[in-house]
Amino acid sequence: MSGVRLESLCKSFGDITAVDNVDLTVADGEFVVLVGPSGCGKTTTLRMLAGLEDCSSGRIFIGDREVTDVHPKDRNIAMVFQSYALYPHKTVAQNLGFALKIAKRPRDEIERRIRDVAEILGIEDLLDRKPAKLSGGQRQRVAVGRAIIRNPEIFLFDEPLSNLDAKLRTTTRSELIKLHKRLNATMVYVTHDQVEAMTMGDRIVVMEGGLVQQIGTPLEIYDDPDNRFVAGFIGSPAMNFFRAQIVVDASGCEARFADASLKLPETHPSASRADVVLGVRPEHLVIAPEFKTGVQFQATIEAVEHLGAETLVELGLEGEALTMRAGRLENIAPDQSVRVGAQAEHVLVFDAADGRRLRPQNGAGP
Partner 1 sequence: MGGAQARASKRFMWVCMAPVIVFLIVVSLAPTIVAIIDSLRELSLTVFTKRGAFIGLENYRELLSEDTKFFTAIWKTVIFVAVVVPFEFVFGLTIALYINHEFAGRRLLITLLMLPTMIAPVVVGMMWRYLLMPSFGLVTYYLQQMGFLAETTIFSDEVTAFAALMIIDIWEWTPFMMLIMLAGLTAMPEEPIEAAHLDGANAWQVLWHVQLSFLRPLIVFAVMFRAIEASKVFDTIYILTGGGPGNATETIAVFAFRTTFIKWDLGYGAAICLVLAFFSLVVAALFFKVSNRAQEQ
Q: Which of 230, 264, 214, 242 is nearest to 352 (CA)?
A: 242
The helix, strand and coil proportions of the chain, stated in percent and rounded to the nearest 5, come to: 30, 35, 35
- Classify 120 as helix, strand or coil: helix
Supply the minimum distance, in Å, between the C-beta of residue 176 and partner 1: 18
Supply the minimum distance, in Å, between the C-beta of residue 19 and partner 1: 18
DSSP sequence for 174-197: HHHHHHHHHHT-EEEEEES-HHHH
| 25 vs 109: CA distance, rounded Å | 34
Supply the minimum distance, in Å, between the C-beta of residue 131 and partner 1: 10
Q: Which residues bind partner 1 (CB under 8 A)?
A: 50-52, 71-73, 75, 77-79, 81, 83-90, 98-99, 102-103, 146, 150
For residues 99 and 215, which CB has a smaller minimum distance to partner 1 in the complex?
99
For residues 77 and 295, which CB has a smaller minimum distance to partner 1 in the complex?
77
Phi then psi for residue 270, to 5 deg, are -75, -15
Supply the minimum distance, in Å, between the C-beta of residue 98 and partner 1: 5
8 Å CB contact between 26 and 187: no
For residues 61 and 81, which CB has a smaller minimum distance to partner 1 in the complex?
81
| 366 vs 315: CA distance, rounded Å | 23
Peptide bond into 265 cis (omega under 30): no
For residues 75 and 169, which CB has a smaller minimum distance to partner 1 in the complex?
75
For residues 105 and 273, which CB has a smaller minimum distance to partner 1 in the complex?
105
For residues 155 and 350, which CB has a smaller minimum distance to partner 1 in the complex?
155
Supply the minimum distance, in Å, between the C-beta of residue 51 and partner 1: 8
Supply the minimum distance, in Å, between the C-beta of residue 152 and partner 1: 9
Task: Provide the 10 A C-beta neighbour count for residue 36.
Answer: 27
| 199 vs 224: CA distance, rounded Å | 17
DSSP code of 38? T
